Structure 1
Amino acid sequence: MRKLTILILCVTMSVFNALGQKKTLDKVAAVVGNGIILNSDIEREYDNYLLQGNQPNLSVKCQVLQQLLTQKLLAQQAVIDSVIVKDDDVDNELDRRMRSYIQRSGGQDKLEAFLGKSIIQYKDEMRPDMREQMTAQRMQQKITEKISVTPQDVKNYFNSIPKDSLPSINKEVEIAQIVFDPKLTREEKQVYRDKAEALRDRIKKGEDFATLATLYSQDPGSAPAGGDLGFADRSTFVKEFAAMAFKLKPGELSPVFETDFGFHFLQVIERRGEQVHVRHILIVPEITQASLDRTKIRADSIYNLIKTMKLDFSNAASQFSDDKETKYNGGMLLNAEDVQNRSTFIPTDKLDPQIALAIDTMKVGSISKPALFTAQQTNKKSYKILYLKSKTDAHKANLAQDYPKLKDAAAESKTNKTVSEWFEKRRKETFINIDPEYQTCDQLKTWVTTTASAQSK
Structure 2
Amino acid sequence: MMKNLLIIITLLLSFCSFGAKAQEKLIDRVVATVGSGIILQSDIDNQYMQYLANGGTPDSDFKCSALQQLIMTKLLAQQAVIDSVEVTESEVDDQLNARMREMVRRAGNQERLEGFLKRSLLQYKEEMRPILSEQLKANKLQGTIVQKITITPQEVKRYFEGLNQDSLPHFNTEVEIGEIVVNPVLTKEEKSVFREKAEGFRKQVIDGTDFGTVARFYSEDGSAPYGGELGFATRDAYVKEFSAMAFRLKEGEVSPVFETQFGFHFLQVLERRGEEVNVRHVLVKTKPTTASLERTKAKIDSIYDKVSSGKLPFHTAATLYSDNKETKFNGGMVINEQSQSRTTLIPVDILEKELFVAIDPLKPGEYSKPFQFTDRTGQLAYKFNYLKTRIPPHKASLDQDFAKIQEAAQEDKTRRKLSEWFEKKTKATFVHVSDDFQQCEELKIWLTPKDNDIAAK
TM-score of the superposed pair, with normalisation by structure 2: 0.72
Q: What's the counterpart of residue 173 of structure 1?
A: 175
Unpaired stretches in structure 2, ≥5 consecutive residues: 1-17, 105-109, 111-118
Aligned residues: 416
Q: CA shift at 1:323, angstroms?
A: 0.7
Q: Distance in 2 between matches of 1:128 and 1:355?
A: 41
Matched, 1:365 2:343: no
Deviation at 1:330, TM superposition (A): 1.4
The aligned runs of 1:62-141 (5 Å cut-off) are 62-70=64-72, 84=83, 86-87=85-86, 93-101=91-99, 103=101, 110-114=120-124, 122-123=129-130, 130-131=136-137, 134-140=140-146
Check whether the contact 1:85–1:134 (CA below 8 A) recurs between aligned residues: no
Once the two structures are superposed, residues 408-441 of structure 1 have per-residue CA deviations (whole angstroms, 9 ceiling, x without a partner) of 3344345445654665576568765444343232
Are the counterparts in 2 of residues 62 and 441 from structure 1 also a CA contact under 8 Å?
Answer: yes
Gaps of 5+ in 1: 1-14
Q: Secondary structure at the match of 1:332?
A: coil
Amino acid at match of 2:382: Y
Instruction: Give yes or no for the alignment of 1:30 onto 2:33.
Output: yes
Q: Is the 8 A contact 1:373 1:384 kept in 2?
A: yes
- Per-residue deviation at 1:183? 0.5
Partner of 2:25, secondary structure, is coil
Q: Which runs of structure 2 are paired with 1:12-51 in the superposition (5 Å)?
A: 19-22=22-25, 29-30=32-33, 35-40=35-40, 43=42, 47=46
Q: What residue number does 2:8 align with?
A: none
Cα gap change, 1:222 to 1:447, in 2 (>3 Å): closer
Matched residue, 2:271 = 271
1:101 to 1:110, Cα distance in 2 relative to 1, 3 A: farther
1:385 partner SS? strand
Q: Corresponding residue for 1:408? A: 407
What SS does the aligned partner of 2:406 have?
Answer: helix
Q: Which has the larger radius of gyration?
A: 1
Aligned to 2:114: none
State the Cα distance separating 1:312 from its structure 2 match: 2.6
Deviations 1:219-276 (A, max 9, x none): 17466x5x921352346654433433444445544322112222233455x3363443
Measure the CA separation in 2 of the matches of 1:149 and 1:45. 43
Report the counterpart of residue 156 of structure 1 in structure 2.
161
Cα 1:335/1:252, change in 2 over 3 Å: same
Over 3 Å counting, the alpha-carbon distance change for 1:202 and 1:391 in structure 2 is: same
**Counterparts of 1:130 and 1:293, CA distance in 2:** 48
Which residues of 2 match residues 224-235 of structure 1 at below 5 A? 228-234=227-233
**Matched AA of 1:244:** M
Match of 1:343 in 2: 343
What letter is aligned with 2:391? T
Could you tell me how far 1:149 is from its partner in structure 2? 4.8
SS of 2:447's equivalent in the other structure is helix
CA contact (8 A) 1:175 1:386 kept: yes
Task: Check conservation: 1:78, 1:139, Cα contact below 8 A.
Answer: no
1:196 deviates by: 3.2
Deviations 1:334-378 (A, max 9, x none): 22322x221211122222222222212221022344x13221765
Report the secondary structure of 1:233's partner residue: strand
Contact 2:306 2:312 in 1 (8 A): yes
The answer to which of 253-262 and 306-315 deviates more is 306-315
Which residue identity does 1:365 align to in structure 2? Answer: G
- Deviation track 1:9-34 (CA, whole Å, cap 9, x = no partner) reads xxxxxx99984332657658335xxx
Q: Which residue of 2 aligns with 1:3?
A: none
1:78 & 1:17 partners in 2: Cα distance? 20
Instruction: Give the letter aligned to residue 394 of structure 1.
Output: P
CA distance in 2, matches of 1:206, 1:66: 52
Q: Which residue of 1 aligns with 2:444?
A: 445
- Contact 1:175–1:387 at 8 Å: present in 2 too? yes
CA contact (8 A) 1:168 1:394 kept: yes
Give 1:252-263 correspondences, 5 Å limit.
Answer: 252-263=253-264
Deviation at 1:280, TM superposition (A): 1.9
Over 3 Å counting, the alpha-carbon distance change for 1:114 and 1:299 in structure 2 is closer
- Alpha-carbon separation, structure 1, partners of 2:298 and 2:126: 59
Residue identity opposite 2:330 in structure 1: N
3-state SS of the aligned residue for 1:409? helix
Post-superposition offset of 1:184: 1.2
Q: Following the alignment from structure 1 to structure 2, what is the Cα–Cα distance between the partners of residues 238 and 26? A: 47
Identity %: 38
C-alpha contact (below 8 Å) 1:181/1:382 kept by paired residues: yes
Query: Retained in 2: the 8 A contact 1:335–1:342?
Result: yes
- Aligned partners of 1:62, 1:97: CA distance in 2, in Å? 25
- Partners of 2:122 and 2:210 lie apart in 1 by 27
Distance 1:320 1:346 in 2: 24
Residue type of the alignment partner of 2:319: S
1:172-191, Cα deviation, whole Å (9 max, x unpaired): 11101111111012222223
Q: Which residue of 2 aligns with 1:4?
A: none
Provide the TM-score with structure 1 as the length reference.
0.72
Residue by residue over 1:58-113, the C-alpha shift from the partner in whole angstroms, topping out at 9 and shown as x without a partner, is 8555434434554566688899xxx94554x5666545433434545779x95542
Q: Distance between the aligned counterparts of 1:280 and 1:77, measured in 2? A: 42
Secondary structure of the equivalent of 1:197?
Answer: helix
Q: CA deviation at 1:313?
A: 2.0
